[in-house]
Amino acid sequence: MSQTRSSEGPASPAAGRILELDFIRGFMLISMSLNHGTSLCREMGRHAASPITIAQVLPSTTTEIFFLMSGYLFGHVRLAKLESVDRRFVGDTLRRAWQLYCYNAVTLLLVVAMLGLAGQTLLGASRFDVFVHDPINAVRDFVLMRSAPFGFDVLQLYAIFFLATPLFAALMMRWPAVALAWLVGSWLVVGLWSETVGLAHDETIGINVWAWQITFFGGMMLGIGRRYGAIAAFIVGRPFVIRVATLLLAIFAFAWLGQKYPHRLGLAEEPWIVPGVDRATLGPLKILCSLCVVVVMIWLSDRFRVVETRIGHAVMMLGRHSLTCFCASNFGLYGVALAWQETGSHAVFWLAEGLFVAFIFAWVALVNAVMPERKGGSAKRPEPVKLAPDTAAAATDWALPGASPVGGVR
């Protein structure tokens, strides 16, 4: 399942980069970007015919899948061989949180410069109007990570996770059962509390950090045991797994389309409400749906060797340079919104979305060329090799301490 694939089945991920996880992260970023473009344009009050993304047909925002994959990679590379949370680990992790924070802030400034062309409708839909009407409080809330304009809250949440990583890593390494109980207990408490206050299902823009921590830190707990090889082998080697996941996704898709777009199924308006798919609190069915998506993508990656194709490699590079990709997508997102504001034409919207995706790929390719991950590295996929030392696992998005920073999310 990695670049050390052999005819005997999935190889140990410690033997090289987990290319499939890079591909999944890149695919999720593209799906998230397209969905953000559609959502922002629809918030402006006019229907925008969307490209088909995961969030359009399934109760999954793709963000939770990205966090899960990223948490796994962090645990796999940074924590698997760590004996204790020392001062160096804390400092390195906090620097990564600061990097996320700075990238988000710089992207915000670039978008603000663009929005001199924006009308009141776009400013209101994107929540940038508060920067016009109450700039002092708006800047204060953004700096303190209390609120953010449309599309900028994801990196805020990510930075918060990294700020909390030293504490959770220490807890996980000393009392793993307590750490797991904390994640599950926090998620359950938030879910029960939301029911008591009548939280509207899947309509809340905000994300509850106490509930969503189960994605990043849960992935971290899986990664510390380097279990990807065993998980992938189980999915690929047992046909019933992919059959069950596919059947569940078909059921989820029918229920989701029936709720969101009943007219497309010939149903009365809003004939049902699907429970357990809350975005803010990460409902249980949303988690189950997202896990089924991961199962299918791992199976497809192995069955068709997607990462060995040109397009698969390009998407994989997005996942490898995910911070660059996400910031580029936030910048391009507002270009799409400005085009939609000026014309309201579906043709222009689709053209803008196409240019949006091309811009993301081009920018990531440029960053990869300027800041390559390995000095003198080759773009060609190396031949299969035998099991390498654990240090080869450093060839992932999470560089080991002392390595030069690259464009990927830290």
Tell me if 15 sits within 8 A of 392, measured CB to CB. yes
Number of H helices, E strands in the chain: 16, 0
Choose the most confident range, by mean pLDDT, from 99-103, 202-206, 313-317: 99-103
pLDDT, tens digit, 9 for 90 and up, residues 381-400: 444 434 333 333 333 333 33
Higher-confidence residue: 74 or 46?
A: 74
CA-CA-CA-CA torsion for 309, 311, 315, 318, nearest 10 degrees? 110
∠ CA(344), CA(346), CA(350), 5° rounding? 120
Residue type, 129: D
The residue whose two tokens read 């695919």 is 27
Residue 10 has pLDDT above 50, yes or no: no
The pLDDT of residue 206 is 66
Cα-trace Rg, the chain: 21
How do the residues of the chain divide into helix, strand and coil, expressed in percent and rounded to 5? 70, 0, 30
Residue type, 312: G
Strand partners, 6: 9
Residues in contact with 15: Cβ distance below 8 Å, sequence separation at least 6, in sequence order: 2, 3, 4, 385, 386, 387, 388, 392
The pLDDT of residue 379 is 40
The residue whose two tokens read 């299969």 is 384
How far is CA 339 from each of CA 239, 256, 350, 356, rounded to the nearest angstrom?
A: 46, 29, 10, 11
How far is CA 224 from each of CA 35, 93, 150, 355, rounded to the nearest angstrom?
A: 32, 16, 33, 39
Tokens for 5? Answer: 């694939």
Tell me if 58 sits within 8 A of 256, measured CB to CB. yes
Alpha carbon distance 143, 294 (integer Å)? 34
Alpha carbon distance 277, 286 (integer Å)? 5
pLDDT, tens digit, 9 for 90 and up, residues 91-119: 999 999 999 999 999 999 999 998 888 88
Please give the span between the terminal C-alpha atoms of the chain, in angstroms, as a whole number: 23
Alpha carbon distance 344, 338 (integer Å)? 10
Tell me if 73 sits within 8 A of 320, measured CB to CB. no
Alpha carbon distance 80, 78 (integer Å)? 6
Residue type, 42: R
pLDDT, tens digit, 9 for 90 and up, residues 219-249: 999 998 888 888 999 999 999 999 999 999 9
Collapsed DSSP state (helix, strand, coil) of residue 9: strand
Residues 166-204: b if buried by 16+ CB within 10 A, e if exposed: bebbebbeeeeeebbebbeebbeebbeebeeeebebbee
pTM, full prediction: 0.83
∠ CA(307), CA(385), CA(400), 5° rounding? 75
Residue 267 has pLDDT above 60, yes or no: yes
Q: Strand runs (DSSP E) across 182-237, as ranges?
A: none
- Give phi and psi for 92, each to the nearest 5: -65, -40
Q: Give residue 19's pLDDT band: very low, low, confident or very high (50, 70, 90).
A: confident
- Give phi and psi for 6, each to the nearest 5: -130, 170
Task: Give the rounded percent of residues in the chain with a pLDDT score beyond 90.
Answer: 33
If we measure between CA atoms, which residue out of 327, 329, 320 comes closest to residue 408? 320
Tell me if 162 sits within 8 A of 94, measured CB to CB. yes
Collapsed DSSP state (helix, strand, coil) of residue 6: strand
Residues 285-311: b if buried by 16+ CB within 10 A, e if exposed: bbbbbbbbbbbbbbbebbeeebbeeee
Q: Give residue 212's pLDDT band: very low, low, confident or very high (50, 70, 90).
A: very high
pLDDT, tens digit, 9 for 90 and up, residues 168-187: 999 999 999 999 999 999 99
Tokens for 343? Answer: 């014309």
